[in-house]
Amino acid sequence: MLLKNRIALVTGASSGIGRGIALEFAREGAKVVVADIQAEPSRGKYHQQDVFTLTVQEIETLGSAGLFVQIDIADDSAVDSLIQQTIDRFGQLDILVNNAGIYIPGQSQDLSIKDWDKMTAVNLRSIFVTTKKSIPHLRKSKCGRIIHIASVHAVGGGAGPAYTAAKAGVVNLARDTALEVASDCITVNAICPGYIETAIQDYLTPAEIETSRQKTPLPRFGLPRDIGRAAVFLASDDAEWITGTTLVVDGGLTASAI
């Protein structure tokens, strides 16, 4: 087991990518704090229509221990409570995965300033806050890891101004924090997923989904476990000398120059 007895905190872990990461961590022996605004997993109209069990239940089925903490990740005081509950239950923190994110469709002329603020608050600011408040505990770990979930849209447009700007910020935040905490032997990296089959894709039309399928060279879309396995690698001892970098997991989507 690559993560045996390590304590991981995964935000946005009730559904989608976060759930996939939490379950792969548990499969590798980690105890996982599932932080999300609701315990019930989201089910999409295109993907994951049959997901019903709670993430913590699945973690326990895998033989590990889980803790669900309900949280609005954009609430600073709630983040304080989240970290404290993690320490109270498990006594330490070894791995932080900043996965929680939202998407509100809209280009510059459609997206309201309120929605810009909401998206950047969740998708970028909350990552800084959660990282900031976790570092004192990660410094006490012998295997401190921070993993940010960004997006292929961090390096290209097409998903609206707030989402793309926030995800680009997440990638560079990983680099900056990696330099800050390197002397503490904490690694900080980002993962940029391509199209992953989760409920967040509900805003798309079938035609748009098919276009994404045609643009993805490998003959299937990504699954949450694909991001989960990448996160396991970055959290494991195998990646102890990898920091400040970005791992693109997109089925080859960004490999093409045109």
Span between the terminal Cα atoms of the chain, in Å: 41
Q: What's 74's domain CATH number?
A: 3.40.50.720
In a domain, 29, yes or no: yes
pLDDT in tens, 61-120: 999 999 999 999 999 999 999 999 999 999 999 999 999 999 999 999 999 999 999 999
> For the chain, how many structural domains are there in total?
1
In a domain, 190, yes or no: yes
pLDDT in tens, 221-249: 999 999 999 999 999 999 999 999 999 99
At residue 33, does pLDDT exceed 60? yes
Tracing tokens 């989402």 back to the chain, one arrives at 163
Query: Per-residue b/e over 84-121, b at no fewer than 16 CB within 10 Å?
Result: ebbeeebeebbbbbbbbbbbbebeeeebeeebbeebbb
Alpha-helical (H) ranges within the chain are 16-27, 55-61, 76-90, 113-120, 126-138, 161-181, 206-215, 224-235
In a domain, 200, yes or no: yes
Clarify whether 163 is annotated catalytic: yes
In a domain, 39, yes or no: yes
In a domain, 153, yes or no: yes
- Of the listed ranges 15-19, 165-169, 203-207, 212-216, the least confidently predicted one is 203-207
The residue from 46, 163, 195, 203 that is catalytic is 163
Average predicted confidence (pLDDT) for the chain: 95
pLDDT at 257: 60
pLDDT at 49: 77
**What is the domain range of residue 234?**
7-249
In a domain, 75, yes or no: yes
In a domain, 257, yes or no: no
In a domain, 199, yes or no: yes
At residue 2, does pLDDT exceed 60? yes
Sheet holding 95-98, edge to edge: 66-70, 31-36, 7-11, 95-98, 145-149, 187-193, 246-249
Mean of the pLDDT values across residues 205-231?
94
- Whole-angstrom distance, CA of residue 134 vs CA of residue 129: 9
